Amino acid sequence: MADFRGRPEDEVTMQPDDALRTIEAQVAMLLRLSDRTRRAGARARGEIERSAYLVLGVLAEEGPTSVNAIADALRLDPSTVTRQVLAMEQAGQVVRAADASDGRVTLVRPTDAGLEALERTREVRARLYGEVLDHWSADDRADLARLLTRLNADVDTWGRAHGSR
């Protein structure tokens, strides 16, 4: 089984249980390394907080959206998103306004500053991953992108089937 340092397993034929243990360990380490990278100078690189990044990503894709729709898209509790949106509003990244077609609904929309911060963060992160994956072939990067997308979709499907938001 690969260790946390990601040593190759070329010499070893993995059994199915070994592969699952390796996946679990590597995902845990990826989350830890990503967190370390994020905390180590994210603001100095011009990145926004992870919660703002995710909310702004939904808004950039969907346009003005209710807190409940954002919560659903991010698989979060609406109360959590409400707190995030309030902080983002104070930071000038979003504005809230009543829905013209249903005054009971409040829509959240990104400000120009919020969209600029999102784009700046995307660029910073793309450069970082570009450096990290520089020695990978285009095919390997495409495979990683495809498999990460598939993993996220399958984890989400499993979570929804098992009562997670």
CA distance 60 to 109: 9
Q: Please report, to the nearest 10 degrees, the dihedral formed by the alpha carbons of residues 81, 85, 91, 94 taken in order.
A: 130
Q: How far is residue 19's CA from residue 22's CA, in Å, rounded to a whole number?
A: 5
* Tens-level pLDDT at each residue, the chain (165 residues): 445 555 555 545 666 678 899 999 999 999 998 888 777 666 667 788 889 999 999 999 999 999 999 999 999 999 999 999 999 999 999 999 999 999 889 999 999 999 999 999 999 888 889 999 999 999 999 999 999 999 999 999 998 898 866
pLDDT at 8: 56
Q: What is residue 5's predicted lDDT score, i.e. its pLDDT?
A: 52
pLDDT at 11: 47
Handedness of CA 86, 38, 56, 51 (dihedral sign): negative
Q: What is the pLDDT of residue 152?
A: 93
Distance CA 164, CA 156 (A): 9
pLDDT at 54: 96
Do residues 55 and 84 lie in contact, with contact meaning Cβ atoms separated by under 8 Å?
A: yes
Cα 6 from Cα 150, distance rounded (Å): 21
What was the pLDDT predicted at 1? 45
Cα separation of 137 and 135, whole Å?
Answer: 7
